[in-house]
A and B are shown apart, each in its own frame.
Chain A
Amino acid sequence: MAMFGRLRGYFKKTDRESHDLYRKTYCGACYALDRRFGPKGRLLLSYELVAAFALIGSLMDSEFGLVSNSCPLRGFGKRDRFVFDNSSVNDLLDLYLYIIYLKASDDESDEKGLRRILASIFKSAIKKEINGIEKKLIENGFPVTNAKELVTQRNHVKINWLDESLNQSSELIGFFAAYIADRFGFENCKSEIVSLGHNLGRCIDLIDMIEDLHSDLKHHRFNPIVELYRDNSHDSKKLLQIADNDLKYLASELSCDLAISLDNLPLRQNSELVRGIFGRSIEFRFRKILHIEEQCECKHKEVYT
């Protein structure tokens, strides 16, 4: 399970408003972790948590409160940040910690060497808190058992098509999205949020599959691309060339699904922020890993950061 680090914000260099909003959300998420889990909690910050807060803020009728204070990690100058502080935010952070715990469990059984040891230490450090959180999640209706099964699932079953294996992150993020919708009172657009979660998860699974191809080949791990387009050479570049048409078609269709589900969201504000985090980050990642930019003569490319 690798689902962190994918949802970075991509905004036009000239779009200062989105850059500012993203920074305020980022700092707000970092403070929220501090407030909930103590200063060590800040180490858990990821782009995905920032993305979740950005989405929630965009779906709400009014913005989160704004404060300005200095941050020891960012120098002495004062910075604006959103204040994420209510019971729903606490529920979200608890779920976030639980997802990280599941990832650590997965790494503990899947990885080798130092990463395995680190995952093991992290797991035992938060074990106490996790027991309480798990009980609370079950009370709030989060499908804990299904989530655990998904994380420990190993796709060693025979597959006939590449897209048959795009379900792990999809279902997990679907659960996550449904929980957010329930806890923050977005009943009216729950199916749209869940649909976004599913489509985002499929994209992330495909990106993982392509990016991990080289290391999966090296360590003889399961990868659907190897399974379906296997040749004798065991060369990841050659495999990607063989699968190129299917991968590009799939990336294009998944990107369409994602754009349509994003467009269906009844966003109240900051739509450009959400477009940059959830839409363009995936679109640009596909372009990068499928080497599309290199094949095109870009005449009027817009610059994003």
Chain B
Amino acid sequence: VADDFYQILGVNRSASQREIESAYKKLAREYHPDLHTNNPLAGLAEERMKLINEAYSTLKNPGARRDYDFTISQGKRGSYSPPPDYPAEEPPFRGYAHRPDNKWGDMGGGESGKLRNEALAAFNRKDFQKTINIINKLLVIEPNDPSAYNLLALAFMETGNFKNAFSHFSTAIRLAPSNPIYYFNRGICYLSYGQPKQSIYDLEKASNLDVDNPLYLIGLARAYKMTGKHLQAKTYSEHARSIDPNHPAVVQFMNEGDGRMRSRVEYYYPNRSGCGCCPCCGDCLCLGSCCDFCCVPGGCCIIGG
């Protein structure tokens, strides 16, 4: 996030008051407007200094900092409250949910065809309330259209109304029980709601109906990872990678894995310059298990070094 106060000061969320203060002093020495009076980039430095001052004034005050942490943690979670059993992280996976394509809009013709096209256009504009209104009209004419229920559920999911989203995905599944798309979408809905255990049933069902679909396999890997079942997650993600290593979901999942490793190394060894575990860096920080990631000679130094 561009305006994250921690990022502006270059400290992590658990930084102590002393770390925050020293980061502020360091940045102030760099960006203070008095140091850039004859510089063409003086305006930029001044803007930056304002941001730095704002960040510091919030983070130096424990009460203000607590409020700020609460606000950003709420922003991260969206409009729902995840159950306390699992890490409160929203999976960046919703974008892979299947929506009806343009062929669906051309189906039927007449009034229902027009409504379908309008609903799709509204959904693509991210006007989810309008999408819901149009689909409700469409369902009066076509009460057994599973794609309509699917789109309605997706619109509810985007507005944070997960209860209605689950209900409409279930109706779509009841109307078309052999279509993996609706199981997959409901699985994603559970993931977004912070309930990976429930999502596993749906994602497994989708994966059984459409064997070797890398997207469904990555969905399963993600659900298992969220429940702490890392070995299962590894099996599914490696299977997905063997099918299509360039699939965007596969690439995203692997990059997130690298990001996790980077966070860990940075957390335990904040002042280090090398990642370790290869002939040029020194001791092994990855517990000897991440050879795809950093044990390849020359491909190692994720933290610099």
Residues of A at the B interface (CB closer than 8 Å) are: 61-62, 161-164, 166, 170, 174, 178, 188-192, 194-195, 198-199, 202, 245-246, 248-257, 259-272, 274-275, 279-280, 283, 286-287, 290, 292-293, 295-302
What's the least CB distance linking A118 to chain B, in Å? 34
Q: Is the CB of B264 within 8 A of A162?
A: no
User: B217-231 vs A: 1/0 string, CB under 8 Å?
Assistant: 000000000001111
Q: Can you list 16 A-B pairs with a CB-CB distance of less than 8 A?
A: A164-B229, A188-B69, A188-B73, A189-B70, A194-B84, A198-B85, A198-B87, A198-B228, A248-B288, A249-B230, A257-B228, A261-B87, A266-B69, A268-B66, A296-B282, A301-B282
User: B242-285 vs A: 1/0 string, CB under 8 Å?
Assistant: 00000000000000000011011001110000001100011110
Minimal Cβ-Cβ distance residue in B for A268: B62
B88 within 8 A of A: yes
Minimal Cβ-Cβ distance residue in A for B269: A302
Q: Nearest 3 A-B pairs (CB), nearest first?
A: A298-B283, A299-B282, A248-B289
Kindly list 18 other residue pairs between chains A and B, CB separation below 8 angstroms, not including A189-B69, A290-B287.
Answer: A62-B62, A163-B229, A188-B66, A188-B69, A190-B84, A192-B88, A199-B87, A245-B289, A250-B231, A251-B289, A252-B286, A252-B289, A259-B263, A263-B267, A266-B69, A268-B66, A296-B283, A296-B288
Which residues of A sit under 8 angstroms from B282, Cβ to Cβ?
296-301
Known: A250-B230, A254-B230. Contact between A260 and B16, CB under 8 A?
A: no
B65 within 8 A of A: yes
Which residues of A sit under 8 angstroms from B263, Cβ to Cβ?
256, 259-260, 263
Q: Cα distance A274–B14 when bound, in Å?
A: 10
Question: Of residues A252, A259, A295, which shows the largest number of chain B Cβ atoms within 10 Å of its Cβ?
Answer: A252
Q: Is the CB of A61 within 8 A of B231?
A: no
Which residues of A sit under 8 angstroms from B269, Cβ to Cβ?
302
B82 within 8 A of A: yes
Which residues of B sit under 8 angstroms from A300, Cβ to Cβ?
282-283
Q: Is the CB of B13 within 8 A of A263?
A: yes
Q: Is the CB of A256 within 8 A of B264?
A: yes
B179 within 8 A of A: no
User: B280-301 vs A: 1/0 string, CB under 8 Å?
Assistant: 0111101111100000000000
Residues of B at the A interface (CB closer than 8 Å) are: 12-17, 19, 62-63, 65-66, 69-70, 73, 82, 84-88, 228-232, 234, 260-261, 263-264, 267-269, 276-277, 281-284, 286-290
Q: Cα distance A265–B14 when bound, in Å?
A: 6
Q: Cα distance A170–B63 when bound, in Å?
A: 31
Q: Is the CB of A264 within 8 A of B264?
A: no
Q: Is the CB of B283 within 8 A of A301?
A: yes
Q: Cα distance A204–B289 when bound, in Å?
A: 19
Which residues of A sit under 8 angstroms from B276, Cβ to Cβ?
296
What's the least CB distance linking A179 to chain B, in Å? 12
Known: A161-B229, A249-B234. Contact between A256 and B261, CB under 8 A?
A: yes
Known: A163-B230, A256-B261. Contact between A270 and B16, CB under 8 A?
A: yes
What's the least CB distance linking A228 to chain B, in Å? 10
What's the least CB distance linking A266 to chain B, in Å? 4
Known: A170-B228, A259-B263. Contact between A191 and B287, CB under 8 A?
A: no
Which residues of A sit under 8 angstroms from B62, Cβ to Cβ?
61-62, 268
Minimal Cβ-Cβ distance residue in B for A195: B87
Q: Is the CB of A202 within 8 A of B287?
A: no
Q: Is the CB of B231 within 8 A of A161?
A: yes
Minimal Cβ-Cβ distance residue in A for B260: A256
Q: Is the CB of A299 within 8 A of B283?
A: yes
Minimal Cβ-Cβ distance residue in A for B63: A61
Minimal Cβ-Cβ distance residue in B for A10: B268
What's the least CB distance linking A178 to chain B, in Å? 6
Q: Cα distance A15–B228 when bound, in Å?
A: 33
Q: Cα distance A300–B280 when bound, in Å?
A: 11
* Contact pick for A166, options B87, B228, B234, B288, CB 8 Å: B228
Q: Is the CB of A264 within 8 A of B13?
A: yes
Which residues of A sit under 8 angstroms from B63, Cβ to Cβ?
61
Minimal Cβ-Cβ distance residue in A for B262: A256
Known: A256-B260, A287-B287. Contact between A275 and B268, CB under 8 A?
A: yes
Q: Is the CB of B287 within 8 A of A292?
A: yes
Q: Is the CB of B232 within 8 A of A252?
A: no
Which residues of B sit under 8 angstroms from A287, Cβ to Cβ?
287
What's the least CB distance linking A258 to chain B, in Å? 8
Which residues of B sit under 8 angstroms from A191, Cβ to Cβ?
82, 84, 87-88
Q: Is the CB of B16 within 8 A of A271?
A: yes
Minimal Cβ-Cβ distance residue in A for B276: A296
Q: Cα distance A255–B64 when bound, in Å?
A: 31
What's the least CB distance linking A294 to chain B, in Å? 11
Which residues of A sit under 8 angstroms from B85, Cβ to Cβ?
174, 194, 198
